[in-house]
A and B are shown apart, each in its own frame.
Chain A
Amino acid sequence: GAVVSQHPSRVICKSGTSVKIECRSLDFQATTMFWYRQFPKQSLMLMATSNEGSKATYEQGVEKDKFLINHASLTLSTLTVTSAHPEDSSFYICSASRDTYGYTFGSGTRLTVV
């Protein structure tokens, strides 16, 4: 079956530093990858959509300069949280899509900014 690997699963960083999260499709080529954010006891919120080789499309209210997304290949997308602040602490999760309806989710990254 389709597998998406997300790394790291947990990260603690100091305020002002940058953190990179990787999302890798292991056994299929993902035409589109999605990045979500989830606050405690809330559902997923789409942050951005990325297609291989093109710029990511960000949802309204998501700062593109703060959340840098790179989709350099059909199997890898990265999310970099730049100059992280405590309010960026959250659960970040990616999903990869092979076709119109098929989604596979990563295992998520819990980011804590101290």
Chain B
Amino acid sequence: KNEVEQSPQNLTAQEGEFITINCSYSVGISALHWLQQHPGGGIVSLFMLSSGKKKHGRLIATINIQEKHSSLHITASHPRDSAVYICAAHRMEYGNKLVFGAGTILRVKS
């Protein structure tokens, strides 16, 4: 079993829909990152969370430390949101290393 699990693997949504991507982890972490990878391969860091909730524009990320679960929400989705979304856990005993989930491929249709 992977230390960081994401669901769903693939997600197709209609423009305007509310989207949720989930991330569960089975190990102790000091922080969790949500990353966005565009079709060309470049990666953008969206959020870094250690507790609670963060919001940036139409993106919201939450984390529940007790349940070892994080979610990334996209409100009013748009075709330009189409990308791979990756959660990555900062392992406590691994220092600065990240452990990555497999990613969620999101396609938003117009």
> Once the chains bind, are B96 and A32 in contact (CB under 8 Å)?
yes
A104 to B90, CA, bound (A): 14
A60 at interface (Cβ–Cβ under 8 A)? no
**Size bin of chain B's contact surface:** 20 to 34
Chain A residue with minimal CB distance to B33? A103
Chain B residue with minimal CB distance to A91? B41
Interface residues of chain A: helix, strand, loop or mixed (majority): strand
Contact with B along A31-65 (1 / 0, CB 8 A): 01010001000111110010000000000000000
A46 to B43, CA, bound (A): 15
> Once the chains bind, are B100 and A107 in contact (CB under 8 Å)?
no
B57 at interface (Cβ–Cβ under 8 A)? no
With A43-B86, A43-B103, A44-B86 as contacts: A105 and B98 at CB distance below 8 Å:
no
> Once the chains bind, are B96 and A110 in contact (CB under 8 Å)?
no
Contact with A along B15-32 (1 / 0, CB 8 A): 000000000000000110
A45 to B88, CA, bound (A): 11
With A42-B102, A43-B101, A105-B35 as contacts: A100 and B44 at CB distance below 8 Å:
no
Q: How far is the CB of A38 from chain B (nearest CB, A)?
A: 8
Residues of B that sit less than 8 Å from A by CB: 30-31, 33, 35, 40-45, 48, 50, 86, 90, 96-98, 100-103
A100 to B50, CA, bound (A): 12
Chain B residue with minimal CB distance to A38? B41
> Once the chains bind, are B44 and A105 in contact (CB under 8 Å)?
yes
A95 to B96, CA, bound (A): 11
A49 proximity list for chain B (CB < 8 A): 96-97
A107 proximity list for chain B (CB < 8 A): 40-42
A17 to B103, CA, bound (A): 33
With A34-B97, A43-B101 as contacts: A105 and B33 at CB distance below 8 Å:
no
